[in-house]
Amino acid sequence: MHELSSLSYWHDSIAADEWGTPRAALGGDIEADVCVIGGGYTGLWTAYYLKRRDPGLRVVVLEAEVVGFGASGRNGGWCSALLPMGLDAVAATSSRGAATALQAAMHATVTEVATVVRREGIDCHFAQGGTVTVARNQPQLNRAREYVTHMHEFGFSDDDYRLLSAAEATERCGATDVLGGTYTPHCAAIHPARLARGLARVVEQQGAVIYEHTPAAEYRPGAVRTRFGTVRAEVVVRATEAFTPAIRGHRRDVAPVYSLMIATEPLPETFWATVGLAQRETFNDGRHMIIYGQRTADDRFAFGGRGAWYHWGSRVRPEHDTNPRVHRLIHETLRELFPSIGDATVTHRWGGAVAAPRDWWCSVNFDQVTGMASAGGYVGDGVGTTNLAGRTLADLITGTDSDETHLPWVGHRSRRWEPEPLRWIGINTMVQLPVGSDRYEARHGTPSRWRDAIVNRLTGGH
- DSSP H/E element including 249: none
Q: Please, what is the angle between helix 192-205 and helix 96-120, to 10°?
A: 70
Residue 456, pLDDT score: 67
pLDDT of 73? 96
Q: Could you write out the DSSP letters of every residue in 222-246?
A: TEEEETTEEEEEEEEEE--GGGGGG
Confidence at 17, pLDDT banded by 50, 70, 90: confident
- Whole-number Å distance between alpha carbons of 73 and 69: 6
pLDDT value for 1 = 47
- Which is nearest to 304 in space by CA: 323, 322, 278, 327? 327
- H-helix or E-strand containing 424? helix 422-444
Rounded to the nearest angstrom, the gap between the alpha carbon of residue 86 and the centroid of all alpha carbons in its chain is 16
Do residues 173 and 283 make contact, with C-beta atoms less than 8 angstroms apart? Answer: yes
**Residues 376-408 pLDDT 10s:** 999 999 999 999 999 999 999 999 999 999 999
- Using one digit for the tens of pLDDT, what is the confidence trace for 28-67? 999 999 999 999 999 999 999 999 999 999 999 999 999 9
Q: In 3D, which of 72, 113, 394, 391 has the Cα closest to residue 242?
A: 72
Greater confidence (164 vs 434) lies with 164
Topology given in CATH for the domain delimited by 5-76+192-254+359-406: FAD/NAD(P)-binding domain (3.50.50)
407-444 pLDDT, tens digit each: 999 999 999 999 999 999 999 988 889 988 998 998 88
Q: What is the pLDDT of residue 457?
A: 62
Cα-based distances in Å from 311 to 4, 11, 15, 183, 423? 24, 25, 33, 35, 10
Percent composition of the chain: helix, strand, coil (DSSP 3-state, to 5)? 40, 20, 40
Contacts of 372 (CB under 8 A, 6+ apart): 221, 235, 236, 238, 365, 366
Can you give the pLDDT at residue 449? 84
pLDDT tens across 73-108, in order? 999 999 999 999 999 999 999 999 999 999 999 999
Residue 211 near residue 10, CB atoms below 8 Å: no
pLDDT band at 462 (very low <50, low <70, confident <90, very high): very low
Asked if the peptide bond before residue 447 counts as cis, ω within 30 degrees of 0, the response is no
Written in H, E and C, the secondary structure of 338-401 is: CHHHCCCCEEEEEEEEEEECCCCCCEEEEECCCCEEEEECCCCCHHHHHHHHHHHHHHHHHCCC
Asked if residue 144 lies in contact with residue 180, where contact means CB atoms within 8 angstroms, the answer is yes
Domain boundaries, the chain: 5-76+192-254+359-406, 126-189+256-357+420-458
274 backbone dihedrals φ, ψ, rounded to 5°: -95, -30
Are the C-beta atoms of residues 357 and 363 closer than 8 Å to each other? yes
Mean pLDDT of the chain: 95
State what percent of residues in the chain have pLDDT above 90: 89
Q: Would you state the pLDDT for residue 19?
A: 79
- The model's pTM: 0.96
Dihedral sign (CA 176, 182, 187, 188):
positive
Q: What's the CATH superfamily of 126-189+256-357+420-458?
A: D-Amino Acid Oxidase, subunit A, domain 2 (3.30.9.10)
Contact 77, 189 (CB under 8 A): yes
How sure is the predictor about 455, in pLDDT bands with cuts at 50, 70 and 90? low
Residue type, 20: G
340-351 tens-digit pLDDT? 999 999 999 999
**pLDDT beyond 60 at 135:** yes
The pLDDT tens digits for 217-270 are: 999 999 999 999 999 999 999 999 999 999 989 999 999 999 999 999 999 999
Alpha-carbon distance of 363 to 350, in angstroms, equals 28
